[in-house]
């Protein structure tokens, strides 16, 4: 991508540019748009994307600036190509790895010939139900919001077109595939329906968009590389460490002493919030915390220096973390973050996903007790500390 650094000098973002970006895992499409838009500050520029990718998907995202945003609809309408992996023998409510498997099925009858022959029935114009855990709006509310509350979701058939659908690797229970399809196709639903077609179950474990119309992933920018070039930096910043590992203590100390807005912007660029996708347990706990009766405000995904807390009660200096399975290999990093946060005057309490899902009210009661038992935090927050936190 270095050869494009010179070309960007000729870009006219206000007049309109089309940018190809490789969306990272767990970033939302909105995260990408926000990161690009912020790179233009203080210039206020219209920025939008042409075709949402799920947070758990990666790959090509078309972002338009300025007057080019008027052509977003035409870019969205173009044919798409994806590669991915499905897991046979089980299903999940979300049709992907956002939720845990809820049913299992036999796969002893599956073989390569049977699986490849089943692909043929999905070629052409077909009818498809979107996943219950999708961003489609009905009566002004996203379907996934209803689904996460356990409510019945009204699903409506959609007509889509599959041009190509092939299996590229079969190592049961995993199967790799490539699909070329029309706008509006849910690959999660395609995988779910494929599982039914082979008298088993299936869910999506990996997805990557490799092409949209004539635009290919090979020509895409890495998001932080593009942001750096837009900002006029000579070199791309270092990549963020796994799971938002806290910055070195001396960096935090410099920030707290100076409250330099430029330094804070740099810290935000690599904060965990940019890659953090709330799981089922966090969303469940938030339903209780947002209506809390403690008398103290609790914020969600809030910035504390370079660290993004899942939940925080600033007045009491209490940080609440909900740790999913991906934290098990990062206990050392968690301990380091906790130590730094303790030095900054915060107490950290952690709950496992299973604790929240099995007994959310019990977890809430523990949090409420902690809040009532802690004295008000007397330490003054430095200017700008709460910037970047999303009070959802």
**The predicted structure's pLDDT at residue 287:** 80
Q: For residues 353 and 115, what is the distance between their CA atoms, to the nearest angstrom?
A: 35
CA distance 247 to 240: 10
Extended beta strands in the chain, E state: 17-23, 47-49, 58-65, 80-88, 90-91, 103-104, 124-128, 137-138, 141-142, 158-171, 174-181, 202-212, 215-216, 221-222, 299-304, 307-313, 318-323, 347-352
CA-to-CA distance for 99 and 177, rounded, in angstroms?
A: 21
Nearest to 176 by CA among 105, 122, 116: 116
Fold of the 4-77+215-230 domain: Pseudouridine synthase (3.30.2350)
What global pTM score does this model have?
Answer: 0.58
**pLDDT higher than 60, residue 392:** no
- pLDDT of 5 strictly over 80: no
Domain boundaries, the chain: 4-77+215-230, 81-207, 243-373
Residues 6 or more apart in contact with residue 103 via CB below 8 angstroms: 90, 91, 201
pLDDT of 100-118, one tens digit each? 899 999 999 999 999 999 9
Catalytic residue positions? 54
Sign of torsion over alpha carbons 320, 100, 331, 278: negative
Average pLDDT over residues 320-325: 75
Q: Which residues pair with 142 in a beta bridge?
A: 137
User: Which CATH number is 243-373 given?
Assistant: 3.40.960.10
Residue, of 230 and 32, whose pLDDT is higher: 32
DSSP H or E run through 360: helix 360-373
The pLDDT value recorded for residue 147 is 56
Q: What is the pLDDT of residue 334?
A: 65
- Asked whether the domain spanning 243-373 has the same topology as the one spanning 81-207, the reply is no
Q: What span, in angstroms and rounded, lies between the C-alpha atoms of 126 and 105?
A: 25
pLDDT at 125: 96
- Name the nearest CA neighbour of 279 among 357, 375, 345: 357
pLDDT (0 to 100) of residue 175? 95
The CATH code of the domain at 81-207 is: 3.30.2350.10
Main-chain dihedrals φ then ψ at residue 307, nearest 5 degrees: -105, 140
pLDDT of 299 > 60? The answer is yes
CA distance 11 to 72: 18
């Amino acid at each position: 991508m270095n050869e494009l650094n010179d070309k960007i000098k000729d870009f006219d973002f206000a007049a309109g540019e089309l940018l190809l970006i490789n969306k990272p895992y767990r970033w939302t499409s909105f995260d990408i748009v926000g990161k690009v838009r912020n790179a233009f500050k203080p210039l206020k520029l219209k920025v939008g994307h042409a075709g949402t990718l799920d947070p758990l998907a990666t790959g090509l995202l078309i972002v338009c600036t300025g007057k080019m945003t008027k052509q977003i609809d035409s870019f969205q309408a173009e044919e798409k190509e994806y590669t991915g992996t499905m897991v046979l023998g089980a299903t999940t409510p979300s049709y992907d790895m956002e939720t845990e498997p809820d049913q299992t099925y036999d796969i002893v009858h599956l073989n390569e010939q049977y699986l490849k022959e089943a692909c043929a029935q999905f070629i052409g114009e077909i009818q498809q139900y979107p996943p219950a855990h999708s961003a489609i709006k009905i009566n002004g509310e996203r379907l996934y919001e209803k689904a996460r509350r356990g409510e019945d979701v009204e699903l409506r058939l959609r007509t889509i077109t599959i041009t190509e659908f092939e299996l590229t690797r079969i190592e049961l229970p995993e199967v790799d595939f490539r699909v070329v399809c029309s706008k509006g196709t849910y690959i999660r639903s395609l995988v779910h329906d494929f599982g039914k077609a082979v008298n088993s179950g299936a869910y999506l474990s990996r997805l990557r968009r490799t092409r949209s119309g004539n635009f290919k992933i090979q020509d895409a920018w890495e998001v932080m590389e593009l942001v750096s070039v837009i900002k006029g930096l000579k070199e791309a910043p270092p990549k963020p460490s796994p799971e938002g590992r806290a910055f070195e203590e001396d960096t935090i100390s410099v920030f707290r002493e100076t409250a330099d807005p430029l330094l804070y912007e740099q810290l935000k660029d690599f904060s965990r919030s940019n890659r953090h996708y709330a799981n089922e347990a966090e969303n469940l706990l938030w339903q209780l915390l947002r209506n809390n009766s403690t008398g103290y405000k609790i914020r969600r995904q809030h910035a504390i220096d370079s660290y993004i807390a899942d939940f925080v009660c600033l007045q009491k200096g209490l940080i609440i973390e909900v740790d999913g399975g991906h934290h098990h290999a990062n206990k050392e990093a968690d301990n380091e973050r906790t130590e730094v946060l303790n030095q900054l005057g915060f107490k950290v309490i952690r709950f496992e996903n299973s604790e929240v899902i099995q007994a959310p009210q019990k977890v809430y009661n523990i949090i409420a007790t902690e809040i009532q038992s802690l004295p008000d935090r007397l330490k003054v927050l430095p200017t700008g500390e709460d910037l970047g936190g999303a009070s959802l």
